[in-house]
Amino acid sequence: MLPPRTAAASDRAATVEDFGETQDAVPRDLPVRQDKQYAVAHGDVSGLERTPDASTVFRFREIGEGAAG
């Protein structure tokens, strides 16, 4: 998997090819969705369900640390 492999690299310039590969794979492997927005996080993050809205404004102020409530 590319992101964990690139995180382990101390030389950030050495990850350019991996990130290019990822950027090519995302549009090729994921369906095109223009009617939906997605927010993805790892760990103890709350508020993501309130961030995207129909106006395409992404409300970063809704994101917080801790259990969703």
What's the confidence (pLDDT) of residue 23? 80
Q: Distance (Å, rounded) from C-alpha 64 to C-alpha 68?
A: 9
Q: What is the mean pLDDT of the chain?
A: 76
Q: What is the pLDDT of residue 36?
A: 67
Cα separation, 49 vs 69, in Å, equals: 11
Cα–Cα distance, 23 to 17 (Å, whole number): 10
Q: pTM of the prediction?
A: 0.35
Q: How high is the pLDDT of residue 65?
A: 85
The burial class, CB within 10 Å (0-12 / 13-18 / 19+), for 62 is: middle
Higher pLDDT, 61 or 3: 61
- pLDDT tens-digit series, residues 21-43: 888 887 777 766 666 667 777 77
The pLDDT score that the predictor gives to residue 1 is 55
